[in-house]
Amino acid sequence: MACDNASPFETSEMLASFVASTPLLDSTWRICSHANAVAPRGYVVEVAGGVGYLAFSGVQVVGGSDSELCDPKWGSMVPLDAASNGLFSALKSPVEEEEGEERPVMVHAGFLQLFLDFYGNCNFQDQMTLLERSNCKSIVITGHSIGAAAAALTSLWLLCRSSSSSSSSIPLLCITFGSPLLGNSALSKAILRERWVGSFCHVVSKHDIIPRLLFAPPSAHILSLLHLCHFGTNSIPEEALFSYVLSCAGKAAEEVEGLSESDGLCFTPLGTYVFCSEEGGICLDNGASVVKMMHLLFSRSCPRQSTEDHFKYGEYIGKLLLQFLKRRELQGEEGGLGLNGSTYDAGVSLALQSSGIDRQEMVLGSARDCLEMARQNGSTRNLNSAHLAVRLSKITPNRAQIEWYKALCDGSEEQLGYYDTFRQMRTAKREHAVNMSRVVLATFWNGMVGMWERNELPIDFHRRSKWVNASQSYKLLVEPLDIADYYRMEKHREKGHYIENGRERRYRVFDRWWRERRGGEKSGSNRKNFASLPQDSCFWARVEEAKESVEMAKKETEPMKLSAVLGRISDFEKYVGGLIDSKEVSRDVLFANSSYSKWLQEWTALKPRFQQLIDS
């Protein structure tokens, strides 16, 4: 290996060092420990240093009965969206697995019920509202043991809620200590899809059994151990039970390596993991590497250590910064890990030492393989990004053809405009060529979104100006053609209107990228000339809905229904008026024969008939 080869393992150790070197981790554990002491079965809220903290106690009861915790049904998984009455709507879409099968997002039934019990409490709702409306620069949700599961679900709920809001939200971070696993692989992939991986930081000690416990299928024995730990009881598991959990963790590690088959129903890690030991810590965000590292570190444990470690997070965090600040004398040290002058080997050695794995241990080779897995994933992301840039340049002719077509429509004496010309397919051969370019572009952008959702691109990909601007430009240019095709083929009669029933996911993703980049600001407020394209890419879909509303108004005789229809038309009038005043539409919107102009003519003639109802 070349000496100048960049090593991500050094970065993983440095990232863990950075997390530990800030006051955040220490402050979070302090508040979390305080919640364990003073708020059993509850939580505490605190604001310190401009950060708002919500800490769930590790002592919790689910369903009002302690006996329910040992019921295997309590340990099963349930569909997240259906079981929570839509509180997690952003995660309701099934996730496609590698074999092409779609799986719903599922979570631990008992943990979800615990969150719902909190959510149903008015005081909890009030506390969350106060926290969000405070002057905090960020919010940290935390918890230990079962309280960590409640913290993770609360964070997911807040992230889902903010994703459906057009306004910018307070940055949120979930930090857990000794958290049990929460849901299936579909949940982990959905969080990757939503780009929320960086919002979850799970601190796991090298021997703690609780984060590994749910690799084993739910049973009375497994849940009994979880029951004891969640009440703060330092109970030593039987040797057979410990060995069973270790065996199940090993099977999970084999599944992520493709050495055995998975049914997709197992509990899976999500987010970023900080593995801590007395020697330091490392960060991993690759799910397969996390599973393998959880098994490797646990294989060096014993029944007593497996529960003792669950209650030693205060010690580990107290030592973490001190250990990182110590000079690491790796070279020339007797029994050291060996560097051989390579930054790659140095990075591996540093990461292995931080995880507490010694050179003499039998698991050393497997640990290196685990870190190599994470390394390959990181380097592949950058390569994928570079390849995408090349492919983007290759589809430039297709985009140019559509831009040429738009310019042709804008200059036509027919005064139809870009949208209506394509909707009517006036020249079959010309529109067919444009349609083929539209399909080529859609294929590229769908592929890119798929890679982004599978975490195959750099973590900040969706914040890079090149891709945010390119996706926004594509959306404004091509989505009007998608809308035209949707209504020309009369798909709305079968599926419903485009915005709710026909809009491709890629456009919703690009909406979010653009909104997050601009911080919720409104664009184009100081325009002197009309935009080249409507700045609302769904503008023509709204026109189509308004056309149907006018037709409904003509036929409706029931006063209440008619009033609702007229209200929608009035809202659309105000909306378009604002766009025109701010010049956020293109000039072809106002062409004499455009769909909007014809709608306006018809509604202007019809409006006096309903004026009394409108005024009232």
CATH number for position 36? 3.40.50
> In this structure, how many other beta carbons lie within 10 angstroms of the beta carbon of residue 150?
28
- Tell me if residue 194 falls in helix, strand or coil: coil
> In this structure, how many other beta carbons lie within 10 angstroms of the beta carbon of residue 350?
23
Is the pLDDT assigned to residue 5 strictly greater than 50? no
Yes or no: say if 249 and 290 are a contact pair by the CB < 8 Å rule.
no
Give the model confidence (pLDDT) of 211-239 as tens digits.
998 998 876 556 566 655 554 455 556 78
Distance of CA 519 to the CA centre of its chain: 18
Residue 602, token pair as written in the block? 């018809």
Same-domain pairing of 306 and 425: no
Is the pLDDT assigned to residue 356 strictly greater than 50? yes
Same-domain pairing of 193 and 296: yes
Yes or no: say if 177 and 148 are a contact pair by the CB < 8 Å rule.
yes
The position carrying tokens 């709204």 is 542
> In this structure, how many other beta carbons lie within 10 angstroms of the beta carbon of residue 337?
20
Query: 530-544 burial, b for 16+ CB within 10 Å, e for fewer?
Result: bbebbbbbbbbbbbb
Is there a domain that residue 385 lies in?
no
Cβ neighbours for 124, distance < 8 A, ≥ 6 positions apart: 43, 118
Same-domain pairing of 290 and 425: no
DSSP β-bridge partners for residue 175: 142, 201
Is the pLDDT assigned to residue 587 strictly greater than 50? yes
Same-domain pairing of 425 and 571: yes
Yes or no: say if 468 and 513 are a contact pair by the CB < 8 Å rule.
yes
Same-domain pairing of 309 and 411: no
Residue 222, token pair as written in the block? 């497994």
Distance in angstroms (rounded) separating the CA atoms of residues 310 and 485: 58
Confidence of residue 1 (pLDDT cuts 50, 70, 90): very low
Which among 349, 214, 388, 192 has a CA at the least distance from the CA of 271? 192
Is there a domain that residue 381 lies in?
no
Is the pLDDT assigned to residue 537 strictly greater than 90? yes
The position carrying tokens 């470690």 is 309
Give the model confidence (pLDDT) of 37-82 as tens digits.
898 888 999 988 888 999 999 877 654 444 555 555 666 888 998 8
Is there a domain that residue 389 lies in?
no
Is the pLDDT assigned to residue 198 strictly greater than 90? no
Mean pLDDT of the chain: 81
457-462 long-range contacts, CB within 8 A, separation 24+:
457/381, 457/384, 457/385, 457/388, 458/381, 458/382, 458/385, 459/195, 459/197, 459/198, 459/285, 459/381, 461/385, 462/195, 462/513, 462/516
Confidence of residue 137 (pLDDT cuts 50, 70, 90): confident
* 208 annotated active-site: yes
Angle, alpha carbons 544-549-552 (nearest 5°): 130
Same-domain pairing of 251 and 122: yes
Same-domain pairing of 56 and 139: yes
Same-domain pairing of 277 and 345: yes
Element of type H or E holding 52: strand 51-56
Distance in angstroms (rounded) separating the CA atoms of residues 245 and 240: 9
Which among 181, 184, 223, 215 has a CA at the least distance from the CA of 95? 184
Count how many domains the chain has.
Answer: 2
Model pTM score: 0.65
Q: Provide the 8-state DSSP code for 103.
A: E
Q: Would you state the pLDDT for residue 6?
A: 39
The position carrying tokens 């040992």 is 70
Residue 379, token pair as written in the block? 């380097």
Is there a domain that residue 437 lies in?
yes
Distance in angstroms (rounded) separating the CA atoms of residues 271 and 201: 6
> In this structure, how many other beta carbons lie within 10 angstroms of the beta carbon of residue 373?
17
* 123 CB burial (10 A radius; 0-12, 13-18, 19+): exposed
Integer Rg of the chain from CA = 28
The boundaries of the domain holding residue 554 are 398-615
* 234 CB burial (10 A radius; 0-12, 13-18, 19+): exposed
Q: Which amino acid is at 501?
A: N
Instruction: Give the residue, 434 or 134, on which the prediction is more confident.
Output: 434
Which among 224, 252, 230, 220 has a CA at the least distance from the CA of 310? 230
The position carrying tokens 């019809």 is 606
Distance in angstroms (rounded) separating the CA atoms of residues 473 and 470: 5
Is the pLDDT assigned to residue 333 strictly greater than 90? no
Yes or no: say if 154 and 146 are a contact pair by the CB < 8 Å rule.
no
Is there a domain that residue 382 lies in?
no
Is the pLDDT assigned to residue 156 strictly greater than 70? yes
User: Which one is catalytic: 27, 145, 188, 306?
Assistant: 145
Distance in angstroms (rounded) separating the CA atoms of residues 479 and 164: 21
Same-domain pairing of 248 and 133: yes
Pick the range with the lowest mean pLDDT from 24-33, 57-66, 393-402, 587-596.
Answer: 57-66
Same-domain pairing of 107 and 185: yes
Q: Would you state the pLDDT for residue 535?
A: 94
Same-domain pairing of 129 and 189: yes
Angle, alpha carbons 338-339-340 (nearest 5°): 105
Is there a domain that residue 388 lies in?
no
Same-domain pairing of 132 and 240: yes
Confidence of residue 331 (pLDDT cuts 50, 70, 90): very low
User: Which one is catalytic: 108, 207, 310, 492?
Assistant: 310
Is the pLDDT assigned to residue 342 strictly greater than 50? no
Q: What does each C-alpha distance from 606 to 474, 482, 557, 601 come to in angstroms?
A: 37, 30, 15, 9
Distance in angstroms (rounded) separating the CA atoms of residues 216 and 34: 31
Backbone phi, then psi, for 47, in 5-degree steps? -120, 125
Is there a domain that residue 99 lies in?
yes
Distance in angstroms (rounded) separating the CA atoms of residues 171 and 154: 14
Is there a domain that residue 214 lies in?
yes
Distance in angstroms (rounded) separating the CA atoms of residues 451 and 446: 9
Q: Would you state the pLDDT for residue 334?
A: 41
